[in-house]
Structure 1
Amino acid sequence: MDNNDARRTLHLPRPEGRVAYDDAGAGPLVVMVPGMGDLRSTYDELRAALLTAGYRVVTTDLRGHGDSDATFGTHGDEATAGDVAALVEHLAAGPPVLVGNSMGSSAVAVVAADRPELVRGLVLLAPFLRDPQLPGAVRALMPVVYRAMLAAPWGAAAWAGYYRSLNKGTRSPRLDEHAAAIRASLRRPGYLRQFRDLTLALTHAPVEARVPRIQAPALAVVGALDPDWKDPAAELAWIRDAIGARAVLVADAGHYPQHQTPGVVAEAVLGLLAEVAPAAPAAPAAPAAPAAPAAPTDRGAGA
């Protein structure tokens, strides 16, 4: 663990490869998980706010993404949940508050249902606790669409463009930089294939089956312009009622509120943390030492 906010990549060994993470700060532990096709730097603004507020913050890449290895044969919510649980046990710092965006929310919800002793609280950003309700024909076509969109040589650029389109409403000043980093990451050997394998395997049905078992205090944040849901406000209301979450609908955000409207998200997250994992108050600054008295001037008799 680093006691400053410098990002140093660490790796957690898993049966099929290594999962990357970074670890900084001191205080109650918060672990943050990005969504599919994203990088852990999606949390840069929220990470900085939590470090400043006195938290230990760990952000992790998904298997087959970012600085994690591209050697995994299994993907999806349950596999990712296994990685998150293993990371929490490895950190051995007591139960953290788990933060997830999109598919990352699905994974942390699985951990909360299956391993409640590892979870102090949940923050679900644009979460998938169930599959979107799509017409049968559209659902049947999705594997075909993903295979075509994520094929080489255009797949990395196609996903980066689609990623940008999910940022409806307010756009982060660093969106171009972040999308370029995603594109560059997917262009490395093996990573586009890992991502395609994930999209073809992914279903959130295992999460929905676990929703009744989620008992951790939770915050759900949904962008009112999120294109992944026909009615984002209705989905947020379902999540609120299903797990007893406090709910925040962000008027001018799409699928990535953590870096579209980071101030709104940080305020909501810090509100939950203050209740379930309060950070120690900052030590008062030490009083300034009194100035030393001026040395007397020897003027002598002839002054």
Structure 2
Amino acid sequence: MNGTSTPATQYLDVPGGRIAYDDTRQGDGAPVVLLPGMLDTRAAYRHLHPLLTAAGRRVITMDLRGFGESSIVWDDYSPAAIATDVLALLDHLDIDRAVLVGNSYTGATVVKLAGDAPERVAGIVLLDAFVENLPPNALMRGVVHAMGTMLVHWPAFWGFYHRKMAYPGAKPADFDAYVNGLVAAMRTPGRKTAIRGHVRGDSAPIGWSAAVHCPALVLMGSKDPDFPKPELVADRQAAALKARKVMIEGSGHYPMADNPQATAEALLPFLAELG
């Protein structure tokens, strides 16, 4: 996050390790839990976070298993396992119901938790998520496997992805420093275990949405390079979740960073409707 008002990092011990998070503690309506994508940290929301807090929302961001300030080595890094961490965090903070926002890999996490514990979820937001994506053909499976292997063995590839693919338009002012930090973190001891866990996790489940009955919002960058046709993926998700869809024009895989204002403008009315 930016600025002097950044909440301090806090920690929660859960079975298997320790989760890092921060919490503004104050705000109106249901608290908003922001989950980053794979190999990323909660600072992915550093530009969206202040816009939500300025609008009066209580905002919680959480580092995923293996990354940020959370423990590195775990037995399970899947989106479903991360859902158990989110639920434990809600219990720890005495939050009855929250709005869950999942980017990329953790879109599956918020769908899983909304289906498993509907009484705890006021609504969900998928932000350039893979949920309900069409199953990959043999060629795409091969490409995904090759990319996963490169991420494990050549952390610089993660920097290449961010610099050359994930942000097709505008980049935040702190872009270079942020990407350098992500790549450096991938080289720390033990991180290969976490990288393998993430790249092998099922981030594109089909059918989980059937158990979700809470309000949902699908946000998708119109130029997301992870999908040949981003709007088609967003349409599938919106249909499966009976959700509203908003395309963030010109954005790539991380609209909360490359166009936080448009992302906030799409997100805040949805939050207001939930109370």
5 Å-filtered alignment, 1:170-209, equals: 170-199=170-199, 201-204=200-203, 207-209=205-207
Structure 2 distance, partners of 1:250, 1:145, is 26
Point out the structure with max Rg over C-alpha: 1
The 10-residue stretch of structure 1 (55-64 or 177-186) with the greater mean CA deviation from structure 2: 177-186
User: Within 1, Cα distance between the matches of 2:149 and 2:226?
Assistant: 19
Q: Residue 146 of structure 1 aligns to a residue in which SS?
A: helix
Task: Answer yes or no: is 1:267 the counterpart of 2:265.
Answer: yes
Alpha-carbon distance in structure 1 between the residues aligned to 2:155 and 2:53:
32
1:120 aligns with 2:118: no
Give the TM-score of the pair, scaled to structure 2.
0.92
What is the 5 A alignment of 1:162-173?
162-164=161-163, 165-173=165-173
Q: Deviations over 1:15-62 (max 9, x none)?
A: 111111011140231111000011111111211111111121110111
**8 Å CA contact retained: 1:46, 1:265:** yes
Task: Please state how far the C-alpha of 1:135 moved relative to its aligned partner.
Answer: 2.2
Partner of residue 253, structure 1: 251
| Structure 1 residues 181 and 7: CA distance shift in structure 2, 3 A | farther
Residue 23 of structure 2: SS of its match in structure 1?
Answer: strand
1:46-79: CA deviations, max 9, x gaps?
Answer: 1111111112111011100110011201111111
Trace 1:73-112 onto structure 2 (pairs within 5 A).
73-112=75-114
Query: How many angstroms does 1:226 deviate by?
Result: 0.7
One-letter code of the match for 1:204?
S
Task: Name the CA shift for 1:99/1:145 in 2 (closer, same or farther; >3 Å).
Answer: closer
For residues 208-249 of structure 1, what are the alpha-carbon distances to aligned partners after superposition, in whole Å with 9 as ceiling and x for unaligned?
Answer: 221111111111110111111111111111111111111111
Q: 1:123: Cα distance to partner?
A: 1.4
Paired with 1:6 and 1:172, the residues of 2 have a C-alpha distance of 18
What one-letter code is carried by the residue in structure 1 that aligns with 2:161?
Y
Q: State the Cα deviation string for residues 139-186 of structure 1 (Å, max 9, x = none).
A: 1453344224421xxx32221221332112222222212111211222
* Structure 1 unaligned residues grouped into runs of 5+: 278-303
- The yes-or-no answer on 1:50 pairing with 2:52 is yes
Identity rate of aligned residues, in percent?
35
The question of whether the paired residues in 1 share the 8 Å contact of 2:151 and 2:195 is answered with no
Q: CA deviation at 1:87?
A: 1.1
Moved more, 18-27 or 142-151: 142-151
Residues 241-288 of structure 1 show CA distances to partners (whole Å, capped at 9, x for unaligned) of 1111111112200110111110011111110111102xxxxxxxxxxx
Cα pair 1:150 1:159 within 8 Å, conserved: no
Runs of 5+ consecutive residues of structure 2 not aligned to the other structure: none
Distance in 1, matches of 2:216 and 2:151, equals 35
CA pair 121-159 structure 1, distance change in 2 beyond 3 A:
same
Distance 1:89 1:141, change over 3 A: same
Which residue of 239, 249, 256 corresponds with 1:241? 239
The aligned amino acid for 1:269 is L
The root-mean-square deviation of aligned C-alpha atoms, in Å, is: 1.7
Q: Contact conserved, 2:132 with 2:237, CA < 8 A, in 1? A: no
